[in-house]
Structure 1
Amino acid sequence: MSYVDEVYDRVVKQNPGEGEFHQAVKEVLDSLRIVIDANEEKYRKAALLERLVEPERIISFRVPWVDDNGQVRVNKGFRVQFNSAIGPYKGGLRLHPSVNQGILKFLGFEQTFKNSLTGLPIGGGKGGSDFDPKGKSDREVMAFCQSFMTELSKYIGADQDVPAGDIGVGAREIGYLYGQYKRMTGLYEGVLTGKGLSYGGSLVRTQATGYGLIYILDEMLRRNGRELEGKNVVISGSGNVAIYASEKAIQLGAKVVALSDSNGYIYDKSGIRLDVVKEIKEVRRGRIKEYANEVASVAYTEGKGIWTIPCDIALPCATQNELNLEDAKSLKANGCFAVAEGANMPSTREATDFFLENGMLFMPGKAANAGGVATSALEMSQNSLRLSWSFDEVDKKLHEIMVGIYEKTAKAAKRYGVKGNYVAGANIAGFEKVVEAMMAQGIV
């Protein structure tokens, strides 16, 4: 049995019931097999893969808080500090009922490679809770965030672990978390990113993941003789990533025709009116079905059929494993030629394989959605320097980082004889930097 297969079998055996983590590890190790087999003796002796797939630290804790009726509630809190070989742990906090240790391990593992690809000195981590902020009052969200940070503050810091936002954690939640961190530690430092502009946040951070997705998509298309202008784009989700991917795609001449949420989707063949979406999602915190009430010619459809809509480009920006093999086949049959992932592992392994086997351009999430964490690292730099860069300065740096990620990904794929396979390229490019640092630092 090869070293890769031995390590994967060990992961499955030692982490039962953590399907997403198994999936992420298998995808990465399979695409790295060509690299690992060439260095098997060296890596095996150093137990490199065993260390790579095992988090350095997992913190689990209870989060008691009081709701508006005076009832005490208890949620589970986590922080997975996965790998610090190239810098302090960096990765978001997710608040959603689906959160568990296995999902956070998958996200932390992916984050390690994603952060490496940015070229910035940040390691991989992830955290969160099964708390659901939907339907909660501001006071209830504050009560939860303050309790959560009271415990988490013991394990994070500007040079140790720098969380950010993720699903369920926006500007409101970051504000409450940061206020409590400052209260607990007495430190005013860049320990959280995604902060408000009045207390250390960075311009472009709100737009960063969505903008970055379009920047790398545009680069991939141009390098393959295609262009974004004039193309129809379907985007799943209607949160921060989807909204700002839509905004940048429209600015570059594309037409976004569909958006969704967990209940259903809208299809506007004349092009989504982004001003209406922003009013619904950012001002009213509403659901995407309300778009159909505002734009009379548009129908709202319940369910998960968004990938049946004819399009040139598909951007899954909602959640993991939202796009399966049947969805991939529908996209191909309806004219889609390019897919770029705005979410973390939104395509199943079968769907990813289908895209690659059928010659579709496919950019995986660890490369395509790295704009958010890249701009978070730029926020960390601004905090350390005690200054703020302009919108254009940050946006230019973001664009350069995303083009750089494409370059690293494409070159790594070509170097190992799999030109055009950006899944393998992204994994190889991210792996090489992390492994070089791990080998240099000894057995830690």
Structure 2
Amino acid sequence: MEPLGAATVFLVICVSCLLFFSAWRKRSGSGKLPPGPVAFPIIGNMLQLNVRNLPQSIHELSAKYGPVFTIYLGSLRVVVLYGQEAVKEALIDQGDEFSGRGKLALADKLAKGTGIIFSNGERWKQLRRFALTTLRNFGMGKKSVEERIQEEARFLVERLRNTHERPFDPTIPLTHAVSNIICSIVFGDRFDYEDQKFLTLIKLTEENNELLRSLLGQEQQNGQSEFNTENLVRSTIDLFLAGTGTSSTTLRHGLLILLKYPDIEEKVHEEIDRVIGRSRSPCMADRSQMPYTDAVIHEIQRFVNLVPLSVPHAVARDTHFRQYVIPKGTTIFPALQSVLGDSREFPKPEQFNPGHFLDENGAFKKSDFFMPFSAGKRICVGEGLARMEIFLILTMILQNFTLKSPVDPKDIDITPLPSLVVNSPKPYQLCVLPR
């Protein structure tokens, strides 16, 4: 080996060793970072993690390192919170400290810290407050939004009826219906399902979702105001994307699960016929009289574990958490999968069972472990809208149709496709038979 080459190799080894011991020292000693697997220079823990199923790797690491531990995704330091106690203690009891938004490489590049979802600090507070106020003014949580959802659900029912009992993939009709609801709120009107502008918007949304699934790696002259064109446009995009993907994906999961368990579907049919009948549209006031249907919907959301690691948080300042100190800016993964799948609260959590949300008398039973929309200060802005959409659309579909699978129910796989961001159901087709 040439002297220069040997010197270069020696230098690389020395630097690598320094980086390795630097990472090791960060973990050692009381009052420091939470424990975790030893990270290698540059690549962090990437060799020790299954990047295709990061939630599963995190589940396995929690068995060794406990409810609070540290991993490195490349050079990005991440503290994982595993279990209901740790998640609640951080997001609710220490909500201010854990209210930052963590890093997602592509989102950082696209959003650049603007909008509601990926902003931080005073910008995030102003935009979130503005969004909530504006959505309320547009009717969220009021009768007007309920009527918009009912109207769109009727259009969806007619579209499903036009399948004439033939097998079809429900992805497009459900996505279009849910998208039209947020369009009617944000843009003031719905679109025809064949409108080319609407279809282009949907296509761009789907492309955006695919990119996110692959992630690892007015007062404009006022310089102090966050209400500039860039922030407001990004906030509108955030509302549209978040308001389209999560509810439609949950509904797709729900229909697949009901195809798997026709006995559960039949019990929902019976409750719909008893409480609502078939001559009027379902309304939100019906939900309190429909404990079984409510339990089925909650169990769908629990079982599908839509956002297993939540959208990443970050600590807004150096934070004392339990016996550790988490440096400002550290990305936080609140593992919602560990809360929704806690066997102490939900016996045999890997099984779909509406009884998880019913008491011994068949009444609906709330649970502090139910947090599919996350918790604390960063809880989903559109939680109320999503709950209305899922209940009204699913009950209206089941009010009008019986679901039928082209394959034997025992052969249906309802296990979600794992993802860092959003779990999706495996592709499937179904038939809808008029009741």
Name the TM-score, length of structure 1 as normaliser. 0.23
Q: TM-score, normalised by structure 2?
A: 0.23
> Which structure would you say has the larger RCO, counting Cα contacts within 8 Å and 6 or more residues apart?
2
